[in-house]
Structure 1
Amino acid sequence: MARFDAERRELFPAGRTQVGAHLTLFHAVPGELEDRVRHDLAEAAREQEAFDVRVAEVMSLGRGAAYRLEAPELEQVHRRLQRAWSDHLTPQDAQGLRAHVTVQNKVAPEAAKATVERLRSTFSPSTARAESLALWRYVGGPWEPVETFAFAPGTD
């Protein structure tokens, strides 16, 4: 995460980042479901061991750049929560997961293209460790952390 955070600080327009590097599973779960969401996240984390995530490639976001991530466990956790919250998800959150960590966003397409090319020129696949799920609350501009749910300790 330190690497992704450093790239975000370098590549995001000043004042545009509200949180550190992260992978978003859902963008908008209704706030009135907070107790249920906390319960479901705690249960999902308790039943899932920490796992490795493959940092597979640099991808273009059109007006930004990101790293595409792969892990079967991540897909399973996402589908489980999607089923639990299906009646309350936005169309965006009801789609399949396109797992990625954004390191640049909200820049001109030309600047984003140059960033993607630069990152690709030195990229090689690597592995990161998924250790928890985190719940955040949008408060009209900034975000505030609500709670973190650690995955079960792995056996490796």
Structure 2
Amino acid sequence: MDTSPPLILTLALDEATAGFFNALRRQHFPPERNYLDAHLTLFHHLPGAEQPAIAAVLSEYVRRLAPLPLQVAGLQFLGQGVAYRVGSEAVEQLHRDLQQEWWPWLTPQDRQKRRPHVTIQNKVRPEVARSLHQQLSASFEPFAATGTGLQLWAYRNGPWEALQHFPFQA
């Protein structure tokens, strides 16, 4: 039986956007749960035993991709948290392509259409989340961002272990 931890695939964000979201996470995420930088998850649970095959696909795939244009389009109330919605046809296409490649390995969650977002608060009381959502929504202006590559992580029952970074190369 394989005991490899599951893998998570995220989209790396440009430095300014990552800094913006990380500052909000430090301010609003419960500190005892905030052991990750802000991230945009593409796949939640890839099989750890397939890491060499997954890395090979990603290494090849990023050669054909230039940095991806993103539009941070609004805020999303999560019930116990708040996220920023991220729109991008390029990210949707990337996700569909990789879904097709890995379909037999995917969990039901990862087989669904992706609704890209970056969570800046989670696991708080609903009234705390609703208050932050209203506060941030009042002054929100959509803005452009850039996806700069892919990041592969091992999930270790809480903290994530960074395994590989795949910068877009085209």
Normalized against structure 1, the TM-score is what? 0.95
- CA offsets, 1:80-139, max 9 Å, x none? 111111011111010001100000000011111001001101100001111010000012
* 2:168 alignment partner AA: F
Partner of 2:84: helix, strand, or coil? strand
Is 1:72 equivalent to 2:97 in the alignment? no
Indicate the residue corresponding to 1:125 in structure 2. Answer: 142
Indicate the residue corresponding to 1:7 in structure 2. Answer: 24
Normalized against structure 2, the TM-score is what? 0.87
Q: How many residues align?
A: 153
Q: CA RMSD in A?
A: 0.9
CA distance in 1, matches of 2:61, 2:135: 37
Report how far residue 141 of structure 1 moved: 2.4
Matches within 5 A, 1:22-37: 22-37=39-54
Report how far residue 45 of structure 1 moved: 1.2
Indicate the residue corresponding to 1:16 in structure 2. Answer: 33
Partner residue of 2:120 out of 103, 123, 135: 103
Indicate the residue corresponding to 1:83 in structure 2. Answer: 100
CA distance in 1, matches of 2:35, 2:118: 14
* 1:142 alignment partner AA: P
- Percent of aligned positions that are identical: 42
Structure 1 window deviating more from structure 2 (55-64 vs 40-49): it is 40-49
Structure 1 window deviating more from structure 2 (53-62 vs 13-22): it is 13-22
Preserved contact between residue 44 and residue 77 of structure 1 (Cα < 8 Å)? no
CA distance in 1, matches of 2:38, 2:67: 18
Moved over 3 A (4+): none
Indicate the residue corresponding to 2:68 in structure 1. Answer: 51
Unaligned runs of 5+ in 2: 1-17
Decide which structure has greater strand share.
Answer: 2
